[in-house]
Structure 1
Amino acid sequence: MDAAQFAKRAICQEDLFNFNPIITTGMQAACMLVISHIFHLILTPSGQPGPVANIIAGLVLGPSLLCKIKKLQEFFIQSSSIEYYRVLTFNFRVFFMFLIGLDTDVPYMRRNLRLASTLAFGGIIVCTLFGAASAIVILHLLKFSYSKWTLVIVIPLILANSASPVVIRMAAELKIDTLEVGRLGISSSLVNEMSCVLLYSAYVSVQNGKKFGNGILCLFFMVALVILNRYLAIWFNKRNQNQKYVSNTEVLIVFVLVVATAGIIESYGYLSTFACFLFGLLFPREGKTARTLLRKLTYSVHNFMLPIYFGFVGFQFDVKHLMSFENAIMIVLMISLSTGGKIVGTLAACHYLNIPKDEGVLLAFILNFKGHTELLILEIVPKFIAWWTRKLHSLVVIVVVLDTLIAGIVVVFMLRTREYYFAHKFVSIESHDTDRELRMLACVYCSRHTSATVGLISAMSGSQNVPFTPYLMHLVELPEKHRKTKLMYHQLQDGDQFSDEEEYGGNDVLEINDVVDAFTADTKIFINQRKVVASFAAMYEDVCSGAEDFRVSIIFVHLHKHQRIDEKLENGKEGIRTSNQKILSHAPCSVGILVDRGHTGFKKPGSELVQQVAILFFGGPDDREALACSKRIAMHRYIKLTLIRFLSSVSKEQLNKWSNDASNKDDEVLLAISDPKVDNEMDDASVNDFLNRYVKSGRATFAEKYVNNGEQTATILRELGEMYSLIIVGKGRRGHTPMLIGLTDWEECPELGIVGDLLASSELSISGSVLVIQQHRNHLNKNNVDEL
């Protein structure tokens, strides 16, 4: 269709709904969006995620049900809107594939490429074999006598493919995108889909010499845009150093380049799916440009584009094609082969990779989600295959819809019935090995906290060879009264947003972003940023739910005190203290409270600033958790770590006397003292493991301090506070020990425990920062929240 014919289509018609196809298409898309969201709300309580609800909404709205009504059929099914739908869906898939690439966890993909590829190709190979066999049956039933090999290639691709947009959206809504099986499913689906797209592109390119030449040209355009995007991102970041985000004009330039390149690729008969994914995957992650693109795309794609896109998939479902016995046989056959092929191939791969069978079955159904590349093939194939009929198109759409609905229901059922099996189990650092990926959540209340937090993230990253995923959550107080800005789009400054929430945080957002960008550029460690706007009374709920969703092993927060210029600690907002106490009580994992002495204490370690860190070990689960944290820190090449174990030098007779005296006083708040010679096996095992793994290898040093009472302990702590830039200690739960007797006079910050409270007090007047660790408690109650 040329430009003149297309313009003629846009001329006003007499029919109210057809007076302009552009307006009609917009109204149809709006109706699809509203109905999709309604079904999403209806099905959410049953656990069904968005894509399944959207497809069902499209199915209900389509010719199978509501569009059987003549008026609705005339409105939704119009030949004048076909071209507009194609343009709309093209732009949608360009944007969400670009977003998928931009949001892909590249370090995880790199580490687990072998696992993901094995799972993906296991399903592809078996489904290809099953699909080739089913194509022969379809050829016989539909009585095709020409282009047989084309059908033998297309049908296996449709059966073998896994729709990564559906998988990613399902995983996000079911909150398994941070679970190992969910992350592996996402990675496998990406490998699966991109492999199918490349196989299809290879088939197109070998048709003739011209197609092959066009393929080389498309490859040149892809490489050119990847290189251009890298230079544009660097340039845009430099141009907007004093802005939170890059401008709308600069975002538009990136979008136009991506859409234009994708359009050129598809005009040559190739799929742009892989190209758009590659553009996002290779786009520079650090800096304002990537952050702005993610912000612009995430909300619109997840809330507008994907619901319409998935709804349109269901809309193409026509139940009348199921009325024929031959059609029904073909549909059941293709669904059975697709599902069976995924199960057989994935379970075989899982057996080879030693992945449990339950996870293998879940992965098989995750990889059986469809609805993206299949529709693209159905759209492009008729252009060069004359025998591709509307009937065959409808049958494949039915298979795609039913496959996705069945897989979605099975996945939800498995996750609900095996909830404990798929729950997050690594809720403390002590519970998993240092070679396993560490996921941590660091919270900041203001920009003043960012430098120390980034330094702590750097320290916890340990060795570059160990997987590490840090999250940074900016906690912003929600004021009781806030004036809403009511500005039209043209009244907003370039780069501004419509959301009032964006105004919260002020310049702190800019300063935090700048520190994080500089850290990422220096260390190549990508920090996932989030912002929470809530009252201090409810802020802990967002932190705890975020920790569960991210499946982190430890949360770090800042003490409500901050260091003044004269190096004294000053109390900050009482709401911060209340929030920290609630996080300690309700956290689903371990918690660390950082007492930041920014002027004299801990800073980001580097070649020019080697940090001296001490871990104090008195005994108990909190100290063991602190010791487990120090194992990660000990692997950092610019940190010198020292383990200092405190041991009691009190005689057995004196201990018995103190124990009897304490037990005879009803009003005594001190706990009865037990025999210090009774070894704690878990404490000894933890210390011995640290000595064997880190002290003997020269990564850390070790010292023992023998003390009789709390006064001697306080003297040693005062000395250590001037020697180390960071002191790590457990909060409490040490049982009965004479080493801390007399230190309960400090009750300034009971959330820090006895030793932490002393180190954070103005009485001790030390220069080092302090990190107090509380190990996750499975049965925490009000009586032991402040247990020492």
Structure 2
Amino acid sequence: MVKKIVLPNGGMMLGPSIIGQSELLKKWLFPPKTFYICQTIAYFGCMMFNFLIGVRIDVTIMTRLGKKAWAIGIVSLLIPLIMSSIILILLRLVLTLDQTSLKSLFAIVFVFSTGSVHTTAVHLADLKLLNTEIGDIALSASMVNGIICLLLITAINTQKQSSLKKDKSYNWMTVSFVVMVVFIICVLRPIMLWMVRKTPEGKPIKESYIMSVFLMLLGCAFVSELIGEHYLVGTVIFGMAVPDGPPLGSALTDRLDTMVSAFYLPLYFLYMANKFKLFLIDARSFLIVQAIAIIATLGKIAGTMMLPSIFWKMPVSDVLSLGLLMSANGLTQFIYLQTALNHKTVNEKYYADALITLIWLTGATTPIVKFLYDPSKKYLSLNRRRTIEQSTSDTELSLMACIHSQENTPSIINLLEMSNPSLENPICFYVLHLIQLRGRSTPLFIDHQPTCNRENPPHSASYSQHIINAFRSYEQQNSNNVVVKLFTSISPYETMHNEICMQVAEKRVCLLIVPFHRRWITDGSSESAAPIRALNRHLLRTAPCSVGILIERGTLSRNNPLTSVSFFSVGMVFIEGEDDREALAYAMRMAHHPNIRITLVRIMEPRKNNKNLRYRDPDGDLIHRFKVECIQIKRHDYKEEIVRDSVEMVNVIRSLEGCFDLILVGRRHTSESNLFSGFSEWNEYPELGPIGDMLVASDSTFNGSVLVVQQQKKSGVGYHDLRLDSGIIKTKQETVTIVEVPCDRKVRPII
């Protein structure tokens, strides 16, 4: 929020209060000839900003809002209005206030009582709380609050415009407004839906369609002014009618976000904050506005906290964070204040008081919420470790895989088949399709499970449907051995790890499998995506289960497990440590699959050779179990390699190239021996550990797939690895595919 606070501050400094007092600077910065040009551009920027707000709002969410959202949204508006109005009435009895001051103060009461889904979403994004329970409630409640405020402002503006005339203009404006809304919904929105249908799947929308939407936007703003409403009303309503998400909503936000935030909004702040006049402020009016704003803010917090704490038994720290988020002010309140000034509802003196209050209240909210609420505590405080090594063989094994695109599907299904689901050892497999949040403000979590009352019809326009169909087909082929549950998560990459970790904790998953950020293409080239790499690093730090990073190369990504039976040769490189034990425990489960051959390669130092480690350490105990359970199956093998230093170990690893379809390795090794000397200096991918990095580095000729495994750390403790905190090497960034989510899928209810 620092950048958003600095923008009006810069305009205030350039205004008549400080720099603008110099006639020379005023002549060069704000010459009279360019005044109307700057004003027009500033208003145009405000219009585009409000249009983007409407585009990001998913109107269909209103039909899924629960009682909690409606209750909090209404109460968080009514209580601050009532409390601040009572304070104003009491001040009127004590102090002498003229009619103009009362009119300005009542407008300020309304401004500081309003809420906005955009303001709340911006604060949640800054705090990285969009995917949390508090974020869901705050977005839902602020949407109710914001819609009610928009309707009230429209009604007040209509009444004010009609009061200027003596005829029946109020009825005419109301009818015209209804006709405009109906025209947008029944004519313009179907046209935009037609544009979406005409756009091929995975292709960008035509530029002619984008220009047509811009012309519709200008037309709606003009008609809104023509019928007597504020031009922003038609802009927001038209923005809400635009189909959110790809391909149209995301294309509009991609084109407009940078231009609006970097050019139009700063100019709008510069122009509007230039009306701030410090010399008009007096102590009496300033204290009155401060009291009203503080009471309104406390009313928002109290109204938000009251219902969840009493009826839903939420923790005090959570409801206080929720109250602070609902009371946060931002650009929307600033625009409301500017509109009141332009309509002469607020005079310049109280406008200056309110602007200062708006700035310091905005800056005070964010750090308090950041201190109070940490979403990771809910999944880092688990009392039980969930690992494959500690899971028993006679219980159902829960695994989860994250998928970014349908290219990840074959290798994930092959890995699921290699995990050996059977009647004796069934697997519950959760598939989480991850989509970057673009073109909308609210994250979505969609459950694709079929219900008893209806079937899931195919959705040919959905990119997710191909993934769903593939896993459903595999589940049908192995109906007695595996249960597949599919979900889609649409959220920002910065907070996506919170959603994944919450699902892992809720589903009691033992191993989370995520794709590597680098993808190899058939011609030998590769593409990488930095956001996916950052996501994987977050998961390695905070996931409440074991994590496996799957590097997709070779036959594992090319074979189709649904149409053919494949035989795989799997290698397991074991050195020492809990991560190697977790990888070996997973390999031992694979060893019972009739089409898989396991080769365990143990790398040892000479001083550890020829020693019976069976009863001395867990590493030797697990290797002994592998020999007892698996070596008797003749297709499996066990090898020991004695190495003295890192050079010999590199030679052993290099000798494995071309021998296996998949190699399992542990990520971390705590040994300080000569085997790992110098590795940290040239690691290209620290998140893969020294062995995994060696197999997939740029100079490696290994053409098989690699699964790098990290065992879950001690419960209640987030893992901190300095190597994960190092800067990400800049690579050619892959353009992340943004897809449209099926409208007919079950969506998690909004509270």
The TM-score normalised by the length of structure 1 is: 0.56
Displacement of 1:555 after TM fit?
7.2
Higher alpha-carbon deviation: 586-595 or 53-62: 586-595
Q: 2:157 touches 2:230 (CA, 8 Å); kept in 1? A: no
Match of 1:319 among 278, 285, 293: 278
Alignment check: 8 A CA contact 2:7 2:266 kept? yes
Q: 2:549 corresponds to which residue?
A: 592
Asked if 1 retains the 8 angstrom alpha-carbon contact of 2:667 and 2:708, the reply is: no
Residue 672 (structure 1) aligned to one of 613, 633, 637? 613
Partner-residue secondary structure (3-state), 1:666 = helix
Q: Partner letter of residue 672 of structure 1?
A: L
The answer for unaligned runs of 5 or more in structure 2 is 163-167, 387-398, 418-429, 438-458, 469-485, 502-511, 567-573, 593-602, 638-660, 671-684, 697-703, 714-718, 725-751
Say if 2:329 is the partner of 1:369.
Answer: yes
Structure 1 residue 374: Cα displacement: 6.0
Alignment of 1:745-756 (within 5 A): none
How many Å apart are 1:782 and its aligned residue? 8.4
2:641: which partner in 1? none
Partner of 2:150: 197
- Are 1:354 and 2:313 counterparts? yes
3-state SS of paired residue (2:541):
coil
Q: Where does residue 402 of structure 1 map in the other structure?
A: 356
The offset of 1:405, in angstroms, is 2.1
Contact (CA 8 Å) 2:290, 2:357: kept in 1 or not?
no
| Counterpart residue identity of residue 307, structure 2 | A
The answer (yes or no) to whether the contact 1:116–1:188 under 8 Å persists in 2 is: yes
Aligned partner of 2:348: which letter? Answer: S
* Aligned 8 A contact 1:443 1:558 in 2: no
- Structure 2 distance, partners of 1:152, 1:382, is 15
Query: In structure 2, how many angstroms separate the alpha carbons of the residues matched to 1:750 and 1:380?
Result: 55
2:253 aligns with 294
Paired residue for 2:658?
none
Deviations 1:27-53 (A, max 9, x none): xxxxxxxxxxxxxxxxxxxxx521111
Residue 665 of structure 1 and its aligned partner are, at CA, apart by: 7.2
2:434 to 470, 473, 480: 470
Distance in 2, matches of 1:518 and 1:558, equals: 24
Mapped contact 1:245–1:288 kept (Cα < 8 A):
yes
Residue 339 of structure 1 pairs with residue 297 of structure 2: yes
> Which residue in the other structure is 1:29 paired with?
none
Report what 2:4 is aligned to. Answer: 51
Partner of 1:67: 20
| Alignment match, 1:222 | 181
Contact 2:300 2:323 in 1 (8 A): yes
> Structure 1 counterpart of 2:631, which letter?
E
**Is the 1:178–1:550 Cα contact (8 Å) retained in structure 2?**
yes
Map residues 727-766 of structure 1 onto 2, 5 A cutoff. Answer: none
- Cα distance in 1 for residues equivalent to 2:538 and 2:431: 29
- Cα distance in 1 for partners of 2:69, 2:201 equals 41
Amino acid at match of 2:434: P
One-letter code aligned to 1:61: L
C-alpha contact (below 8 Å) 1:317/1:394 kept by paired residues = yes
1:226-256 CA distance string (max 9 Å, x none): 4545444454456554995334332121022
In the TM superposition, residue 338 of structure 1 has moved relative to its aligned partner by 2.1
TM-superposed deviation, 1:398 = 3.0
Distance 1:667 1:676 in 2: 12
Q: CA deviation at 1:142?
A: 6.5
Supply the AA of the counterpart residue of 1:126: I
User: Residues 93, 526 of structure 1: CA spacing in aligned structure 2 closer, same or farther, 3 A cutoff?
Assistant: farther
- CA drift at 1:368: 3.5
Query: Residue 711 of structure 1 corresponds to which residue in structure 2?
Result: 631
SS at match of 1:588: helix
Residues 345-376 of structure 1: CA deviation (Å, up to 9, x unaligned)? 22223423434333444443432314535644
Tell me, yes or no, if the aligned pair for 1:439 and 1:551 is still in contact at 8 Å: no
Correspondence for 2:463 among 498, 501, 519: 519
The answer (yes or no) to whether the contact 1:178–1:551 under 8 Å persists in 2 is: yes
Distance 1:303 1:428, change over 3 A: farther
Deviations 1:568-600 (A, max 9, x none): xx9876999xx9899679943444315464776
Between stretches 247-256 and 407-416, larger displacement belongs to: 407-416
Aligned to 1:6: none
C-alpha distance 343-781 of structure 1, shift in aligned 2 (>3 A):
closer
Q: Quote the Cα distance in structure 1 between the aligned partners of 2:186 and 2:612.
A: 67
Q: Partner letter of residue 369 of structure 1?
A: N
Q: Which moved more, 1:264-273 or 1:99-108?
A: 99-108
2:642 corresponds in structure 1 to: none
Q: Do the aligned partners of 1:584 and 1:591 also contact (CA within 8 Å) in 2?
A: no
Amino acid at match of 2:360: I
| Residue deviations 1:20-78 (CA, integer Å, cap 9, x gap) | xxxxxxxxxxxxxxxxxxxxxxxxxxxx5211111221222222222222233455667
Q: Which runs of 5+ in 1 are unaligned?
A: 1-47, 433-437, 460-465, 474-514, 531-544, 565-569, 612-617, 631-642, 648-661, 684-704, 718-725, 736-748, 761-767, 784-788
Structure with larger RCO (C-alpha < 8 A, sep 6+):
2
Give the counterpart of 2:170 among 201, 208, 211.
Answer: 211
Q: Which residue of 2 aligns with 1:32?
A: none
Structure 1 residue 204: Cα displacement? 4.9
2:62 is equivalent to residue 102 of structure 1: no
How far has the Cα of 1:160 moved from its partner?
0.8
- In structure 2, the residue matched to 1:257 is 216
Q: Which residue of 1 aligns with 2:75?
A: 122
Whether the aligned pair in 1 keeps the contact of 2:220 and 2:238 (CA below 8 Å) is no
Q: 1:552, 1:454 → 2: CA distance?
A: 17
Counterpart-to-counterpart distance in 2, 1:624 and 1:666: 21
Output the CA distance in 1 between the equivalents of 2:538 and 2:318.
33
Cα pair distance change 1:457/1:254, threshold 3 Å: farther
**Any idea what SS the aligned residue of 1:372 has?**
helix
**Given the alignment, which residue of 411, 421, 425 partners 2:365?**
411
Q: Distance in 1 between matches of 2:416 and 2:176?
A: 43
Question: Does the C-alpha gap of structure 1 residues 669 and 452 become closer, same or farther in structure 2, counting only changes over 3 Å?
Answer: farther
**Does 2:207 align with 1:248?**
yes
Query: 2:411–2:552: 8 Å Cα contact kept in structure 1?
Result: no
Instruction: Provide closer, same or farther for how the CA distance between residues 337 and 782 of structure 1 changes in structure 2, counting only shifts above 3 A.
Output: closer
Contact 2:328 2:365 in 1 (8 A): no
User: Partners of 1:729 and 1:199 in 2: how far apart?
Assistant: 62
Q: Distance in 1 between matches of 2:107 and 2:465?
A: 45
Farther off after superposition, 421-430 or 92-101: 421-430
Q: Tell me, what secondary structure is at the counterpart of 2:24?
A: helix
Whole-angstrom CA distance in 1 between matches of 2:151 and 2:49: 19
The C-alpha deviation readout for 1:98-142, integer Å capped at 9, x for no partner, is 323433478988776544443333321111112322443576657
Change (3 A) 1:715 1:575: farther
1:471-503 residue CA offsets vs partner (Å, 9 max, x unmatched):
469xxxxxxxxxxxxxxxxxxxxxxxxxxxxxx
Counterpart of 2:365, as a letter, is V
TM-score, structure 2 as length reference: 0.58
- C-alpha RMSD of matched pairs (Å): 6.5
Residue 508 of structure 2: aligned partner: none
Alignment coverage as a number of residue pairs: 581
Distance 2:524 2:342 in 1: 71
**Alignment-mate amino acid for residue 397 of structure 1:** Y
Q: Which amino acid aligns with 1:337?
A: I
Q: Aligned residue for 1:639?
A: none
- Counterpart of 2:84 in structure 1 is 131
Q: Secondary structure at the residue paired with 1:128?
A: helix
Q: Supply the AA of the counterpart residue of 2:11.
A: G
Q: Which residue of 2 aligns with 1:26?
A: none
Give the 3 Å change call, closer, same or farther, for CA 247–49 of structure 1 in structure 2: same
What is the DSSP-based 3-state SS (H/G/I as helix, E as strand, rest coil) of the residue aligned with 2:631?
A: helix
Cα distance 1:395–1:172, how it changes in 2: closer, same or farther (>3 A)? farther
CA displacement at 1:163 relative to structure 2: 4.8
Q: Distance in 2 between matches of 1:311 and 1:165?
A: 21
- C-alpha displacement at 1:145, in angstroms? 6.0
DSSP 3-state at the match of 1:708: helix
Identity of aligned residues (%): 17
